[in-house]
Structure 1
Amino acid sequence: MSSQPNGHGPSINGRQNGEPNGHHGSPSAATEKVAPATPSSLESPHIVSHRTMPVRPGDKRAVDLDNYFSGPLDPTKHSKLPYFMRLHGSILPSLVMPILFVAAWATTITVISERVHSLAVDSLLLTVLGFVVGLSLSFRSSTAYERYAEGRKFWAQMTLHSRNLARIIWIHTSEGEGEQGKDDVLGKVSAINLILGFCQAVKHKLRHEIEADYADLEPLIDHLDTFAKRARSSDRSATAHNLGLSNRSKFQTWGENLGLPFCESNPQKSIKVARKQGKHHGNLPLEIMNYLSSYYEHCIKSGTLTGPCWQSQVSTSLMLMMDAYGGCERVLSTPLPLAYNIAISQITWLYVLVLPFQLCAKLRWAAIPGTIVAAYIILGIAAIGREIENPFGRDVNDLDLDRYCTSLQLDLNVLTSSPPPKAQEWLKAPANTPLWPYSLSSYDSWRARQEGEIRRALVHRVDHQSVELADHEDSAKRVEGRHGGV
């Protein structure tokens, strides 16, 4: 990491809208660090300018095969191809080399059996081994998907309680007058930023990224004193880190995409390097939660969060966010035992290698494509289990943690974009029609009537529900505004 001060200006390299989330060709904001830069003299140094953000090769909208076979998938992109014709998201690329090996093996066995000496064995072996392989793959798939579903559930829990905590802080924490009011507003915004920072830090922690100066995290927590920040002075510079991410050789990139195990990178390499150097980066999400808890304590002591109900809700939300983080760590650090992985891999490969001996007698030359098809099915199911076993990584079918954090950031920005609403203002707004669809009269119009008339209208509204309004049957149709601005 860089020992120079990290800038918060135009040099922040976040992922742009529509940018492919590839981890080979171009690092996303999840791994790219903030590099120091000098702000433009024509713009304020305190404003992040999207116009001055550097454009990386991976930002281009053109098709990049390196990014095409990496992930996670972007669910907002829609493909009109039928599922059996899609490659992006398929495990086919990672099976290219294994299938080529199986094809060569099946061809060799079939040629020897047809031209030299029959190598056929009884098909009873196919039946016995097929049952064992099916049982093994069923176990492999069910345990892998269980971990995938658990990871999504814990991340949804974290997002839910992050929103709830931000809402309580923004709405139910009171603001003073004058200078104190400005301090209260900025304090609430800073605390809500730490909520997002906690989720970003959890994302990096689950991906074994232990530093603190990533482009989507550093601006949120640079003012905090953390172990990761203290270790930064002895880490390699951000520029060197980013170049290391983007300068992987084509052999490594394509070898990993095509299923060569020796080309896969070790996701915990940075942790091992730090351990050898005697550096401790701490538990960043836990440290951020400590600062959030201190803000909660400050609000109670200063009297800005007085309701016991809301105090309890804040404490519960903080606890459940940590609970979700702990659940994600449990999913990550408790994979399928190694003995199971080895045994299942050996069983499936043994079955695939024996297949040509059993098929060549009856299928003759057709045993070659038959073996290839069977190998694709069997090895494909096993490969899917390996890919989704760790749902927090960067494989094509992993959970898109970057998108989850970006969505949460948008929600929090929308929440804080307006001052806490006051009930009397929106209740008496001209566009408020309390008795819709029975009446389009406003709140003030009904307030001018007798209470008995209001009660009778509420009764009539029940009967009015069956009345068909124009275009009301199709809820997808929109209507022109009738009341103007509120």
Structure 2
Amino acid sequence: MSESTTIHTQQSETQLDQNAEVKAPHVEISSQSESTHQPSAKPSQQHLFEEFMTKPLDIEKHSKWPWFLRMRGSITPQMIVPLLFVACWSTIITCISQFVYPLVVSSLLLTVLGFVVGLGISFRTSSAYDRYTDGRKYWAQLVQASRDLARHIWIHAKERHEEDAEKGKADLLAKLTALNLITAFAIALKHKLRFEPYTNYEDLEPLVSHLSTFAGEAYDPKTPPPKEPSIQKIVGEYLGLTMAESNPRKLLKRSNKNLGNLPLEILTYLSAYIESIIANETFNNGVHQGMVMANLASLNECLTGTERILNNPLPIAYSIAISQITWVYVIALPFQLWDSLRWVTIPGTIIGAYIILGIAAIGREIEDPFGHDVNDLPLDQYCRQIQAEMDVIASKAAPKPEHFITTAQNRLLYSLNYQAWSTKSVENIRASLKAKTNITSKPQQRPAEYTKLTKAFMNHSV
């Protein structure tokens, strides 16, 4: 009896040890996330309000509201304060013209200024949209290069399980580390483009905490977390008030240490990994080596291109001049409209100002496509997509052709599987492929022809 109790106790202790080993990585990850200054599980009202006001739109969500009734993502909130000023100004000019002295200017000024304002706003908007489009193209290129690089590493880098079990396991874990670095590159680039220079972010720290980087060494855990913005500040930014805007580079300016270039440093670690698998001859195909190097160069191109967009805005002289010309046109509107519209000058001026100032505001909104604004690129979603695709690639071992070619589930042609076609001659197979072209050229006859030919092949009559 005591012996069975002892055995049962040992089994229980073994089971507890196994559960502890399984749960240990989760404990470690949670402790890492606690060390970062991230929002708590129950965010405050300010945080929820800030996310609603400034969080980029989720492209996967579908809204049934008509476009002209949508407020989130619209520049209408930014127009409230300017339009209030325009309404007061047009009311004053209209009242003076109606009751005191007619302040009338020739409509020729409206034509001349309208042409100049149209050119200026068109230049500003097209330049801003080009920057937005370039940013989107670079991130699409980053996704493509990440997929190609991960696929080449996972499929074409050999694992030496037959030679040595420990070497094979080491090769597998090294490949997994490389895929994590690919994900870390995208996330680090996202934070760099948002002027977040450190590594203490919940989505980044588990991937790069083991690397020796300038950004990791520059971060001081004793640094107090940033203060949560007040409701007044969030509303001010939502209304487009420049006095309420924070300096996006404040973290860069406060640091007294070299912050380095984290995405570039991650690329050097990836290059070191590629060099190691070439040296140990687990990646010795010259064609694949060239393609991997090309993918690394493509990632570096994405880094350089996005940095160019971020650090080279439209020259300040153009922005100031276009803004001044636009406001001169809006201020001059009631002087030119009153003689024809009288009291309708007030709503007419407001509508004209909304159109002109609104288009100019769109140019300012999309000039930097990498921030946290509603109309910025959804970089968080792009990074989650890359991470999910890395997990998909790593979820299975490199497939072997015999596992998906010679299987009975491989229906090659006319719903017949590999075994059925392997019993036929090459001439018969080629004749069947030729016959298929006649069917695909006539889609309306395809189901009947498929059924007929399938029965014929199964009866060996063809």
Q: TM-score range, shorter-chain basis?
A: 0.7 to 0.9
User: Which string of whole-angstrom CA distances, capped at 9 and with x for unpartnered residues, describes residues 346-393 of structure 1?
Assistant: 000111111111111211111000010001000000000001011111
Q: Which residue of 1 aligns with 2:423?
A: 448
Count of aligned residue pairs for this structure pair? 417
The whole-number CA distance in structure 2 between the counterparts of 1:413 and 1:401 is 18
The whole-number CA distance in structure 2 between the counterparts of 1:134 and 1:269 is 36
Alignment of 1:27-38 (within 5 A): 34=36
Q: Which residue of 2 aligns with 1:388?
A: 366
User: Which string of whole-angstrom CA distances, capped at 9 and with x for unpartnered residues, describes residues 206-235 of structure 1?
Assistant: 111101111111100100000111112366
What is the one-letter code of the residue matched to 2:29? G
> How does the TM-score come out when normalised to structure 1?
0.82
Contact 2:237/2:245 (8 A) holds in 1:
yes
What is the one-letter code of the residue matched to 2:201? Y
Match of 1:212 among 199, 204, 219: 199
The whole-number CA distance in structure 2 between the counterparts of 1:256 and 1:311 is 49
Q: Which residue of 1 aligns with 2:117?
A: 133
Alignment of 1:32-431 (within 5 A): 34=36, 54-57=41-44, 66-177=50-161, 178-233=165-220, 236-237=223-224, 240-241=225-226, 244=227, 247-274=228-255, 278-431=256-409
What is the one-letter code of the residue matched to 2:243? F
SS at match of 2:54: coil
The whole-number CA distance in structure 2 between the counterparts of 1:71 and 1:249 is 16
What is the one-letter code of the residue matched to 2:312? T
SS at match of 1:404: helix
The whole-number CA distance in structure 2 between the counterparts of 1:10 and 1:183 is 26
User: Which string of whole-angstrom CA distances, capped at 9 and with x for unpartnered residues, describes residues 293-342 of structure 1?
Assistant: 00010010011101000000111100111011101111111111000000
SS at match of 1:233: coil
The whole-number CA distance in structure 1 between the counterparts of 2:363 and 2:430 is 61
What is the one-letter code of the residue matched to 2:381? R
SS at match of 2:326: helix
SS at match of 2:71: coil
SS at match of 1:434: strand
What is the one-letter code of the residue matched to 2:145? H
The whole-number CA distance in structure 2 between the counterparts of 1:130 and 1:328 is 35
CA spacing shift, 1:349–1:56, aligned 2, 3 Å: same
Q: Report the identity percentage.
A: 48
The whole-number CA distance in structure 1 between the counterparts of 2:333 and 2:280 is 74
Contact 1:170/1:416 (8 A) holds in 2:
yes
What is the one-letter code of the residue matched to 2:239? L
SS at match of 1:69: helix
Moved more, 332-341 or 65-74: 65-74
Match of 1:10 among 17, 30, 40: 30
Contact 2:46/2:230 (8 A) holds in 1:
no
Moved more, 117-126 or 286-295: 117-126
CA RMSD of aligned residues (A): 2.2
Q: Which sections of structure 2, spanning at least 5 residues, go unmatched?
A: 1-25, 451-462
Q: Which sections of structure 1, spanning at least 5 residues, go unmatched?
A: 1-5, 14-31, 37-52, 473-486
User: Which string of whole-angstrom CA distances, capped at 9 and with x for unpartnered residues, describes residues 115-153 of structure 1?
Assistant: 222112111111111111001001001100011111111
SS at match of 1:80: coil
What is the one-letter code of the residue matched to 1:441? L
Deviation at 1:250, TM superposition (A): 1.1
Contact 2:73/2:374 (8 A) holds in 1:
yes
Runs of 4+ in structure 1 over 6 Å off: none
Deviation at 1:202, TM superposition (A): 0.7
Deviation at 1:54, TM superposition (A): 2.6
Moved more, 105-114 or 186-195: 105-114
Pair member with larger Rg: 2
The whole-number CA distance in structure 2 between the counterparts of 1:316 and 1:301 is 19
SS at match of 1:117: coil
> How does the TM-score come out when normalised to structure 2?
0.86
Deviation at 1:463, TM superposition (A): 2.1
CA spacing shift, 1:235–1:322, aligned 2, 3 Å: farther
The whole-number CA distance in structure 2 between the counterparts of 1:333 and 1:450 is 65
